[in-house]
Amino acid sequence: MSKIYQFLADGFEPVEALAPVDVMRRAGLQVTTVSIMGRSNVVSAQNVTVVADVLFEDVVFDDASALVLPGGGVGTAPMLPIIQALKAAGNRVISVIAGRSKDLIILEDEVRASSDEVIIMTDDGSYGDKGLVTEGIERVIKREKVDHCVAIGPAIMMKFVCKLTAKYEIPTVVSLNTIMVDGTGMCGACRVTVGGKTKFVCVDGPEFDAHQVDFDEMMMRLSAYKSQEVESFENFKPMHNA
């Protein structure tokens, strides 16, 4: 059975960090909480102390030989600490950064510092290689064995990354935080279907088995208030430009 590690640092949100641990353990999965603070006690944003199972420096990620981590647009930001942690643990890490154009490629230097290889893809070819993030990922898959993939970015990007990794039977994790609103489980706005069951991203996630997520439903829900969002943005622009 593959091992699952949940990293904890001071200031973490208990709902986002610990609820998935509880769910996965009840499902019979082997989940280990890992402190990256150099001590077992980790203090949450609500000043609640949690004792992690192990320290980061004591973990050996021997289940993975190579990991591909695609980040789309601003999805590169939450991907960075994952990249850093996996590389520090001795894994081979290939990072694929993608965006519509060069101006939307962020944190390149920081990602390079913790990656064995960085592939940059832009839709318009203004930087790196022209093409989609999936093309960069498949290039890696075709040349070497990839054990895990973690994808964070726009829903449409994650959907097609998942279709690709499913084709090659590569375990994949996605973060669906893009659909979250209040982050407490009260509003119900972040409902998604995972494995045929309704899940709340802010309580049950935000990380899920990518191959179990109904991305078509998620994208439909993301566009439900598109007209109101456009109207709000247009009203905001004059104040921003002033």
- Which of 12, 43, 59 is a domain's end point? 59
Which CATH number does the domain housing residue 15 bear? 3.40.50.880
pLDDT at position 66 over 70: no
Question: How many domains does the structure of the chain reveal?
Answer: 3
- Which of 126, 141, 175 is a domain's end point? 175
Q: With bands split at pLDDT 50, 70 and 90, how would you rate the model's confidence at 45?
A: confident
Contact 162, 175 (CB under 8 A): no
Class of residue 216 by CB neighbours under 10 A (exposed 0-12, middle 13-18, buried 19+): exposed
Q: With bands split at pLDDT 50, 70 and 90, how would you rate the model's confidence at 130?
A: very high
Same-domain status, 77 and 119? yes
Strand-pair category, 117-122 with 129-130 = parallel
Same-domain status, 110 and 28? no
Class of residue 63 by CB neighbours under 10 A (exposed 0-12, middle 13-18, buried 19+): middle
Tokens of 96: 């694929």
Q: What is the mean pLDDT of residues 39-47?
A: 83
Q: Determine the structural domain holding residue 212 and report its residue range.
A: 179-242
Same-domain status, 28 and 112? no
Q: What is the mean pLDDT of residues 124-142?
A: 94
Strand-pair category, 197-200 with 191-194 = antiparallel
Same-domain status, 206 and 168? no
Q: With bands split at pLDDT 50, 70 and 90, how would you rate the model's confidence at 1?
A: very low
Please tell me the predicted confidence (pLDDT) of residue 3: 63
Same-domain status, 164 and 88? yes
H-only helix segments in the chain: 14-26, 76-88, 108-113, 133-143, 155-167, 201-204, 215-222, 226-241
